[in-house]
Amino acid sequence: MIEGKYKAYPEYKDSHVEWLGEVPEHWGITSLKHLVSIPIIDGTHESPIKHDMGIPFVFAEAISKGFINFDKMWGYISEEEQKLFSKRYLPKRNDILMVKLGATTGVVAIVETDEEFNIWVPLAAIRVNHKILAKYVYYVLKSHNIQDAIQMSWTYGTQQTLGLRTLENLSFPIPPKDVQKSIVNYIESIAPILEISIQKSEKSILLLQERRTALISAAVTGKIDVRDWKKPGDIV
């Protein structure tokens, strides 16, 4: 349980899920498969034919930072292929896509477009039902708790893999709907501030690394004279 400046709930209970620990007394616990309106499914297993124009087709590389980057999509498929692939799955706004195969297994994004597109087999699609908010499920899937559970569930062949059955059996904490909304609003108000801080820190780290590299280069190539330099604390 988090302690310190954060306000805690009055009562907690054991979730009986090792990686989840205690949850507020009035929250429920259930498997993800009970929170979806259609069974969790992956994209088509057919090998697409790339076209210069048509329907956008997305591989795992386009899933990053919580959204689908269509600039990194695989390419386009034909209307005929789209009709075929859509018999298995057709993306819809607020669906959640998770990478289930390869180096980025566990990365998630939420569909934020009504434009038609489709996905390939390394991506799993989650469409939630009325019991829960899609954005809440998305943030739970991004949490380190779920990510740790996912990593413990990976199977390995030539690359790490997350099975659909494993995904659907993941345990989820279920707060009341109004609390779900509050959680989403809180995260979306705080996260951008933290992201700015992260970007500033990364920029400072990059500048310091560049300065270190320049200093080393200057020293080893004789651009600065260090013959009279004394280490702090050295006795002259």
pLDDT for 196 = 84
Q: Name residue, tokens 């990478």.
A: 99
Question: Per-residue pLDDT tens for 107-151?
Answer: 999 999 999 999 999 999 999 999 899 999 999 999 888 888 888
- At 28, which amino acid appears? G
pLDDT of residue 136: 94
Q: Work out the average pLDDT over 210-224.
A: 80
CA distances from 139 to 42, 190, 200, 226 (A): 20, 13, 24, 53
| pLDDT above 70: residue 207 | yes
Per-residue confidence (pLDDT) for residue 1, from 0 to 100: 47
Separation CA 222–CA 86 (nearest Å)? 65
> Which of 127, 72, 132 is closest to 97 using CA atoms?
127
Q: Do 44 and 117 contact (CB within 8 A), yes or no?
A: no
What's the pTM value of the predicted model, to 2 decimals?
0.82
Mean pLDDT in residue range 85-111 = 95
Query: Mean pLDDT throughout 43-72?
Result: 94
Nearest to 120 by CA among 97, 141, 137: 97
* Contacts of residue 147, Cβ cutoff 8 Å, sequence gap at least 6: 106, 141
What is the mean predicted confidence (pLDDT) over 179-200?
87
- What's the chain's average pLDDT? 89
Give dist(CA 58, CA 44) in Å, integer: 11
Whose CA is closest to 58, among 32, 77, 41, 40? 77
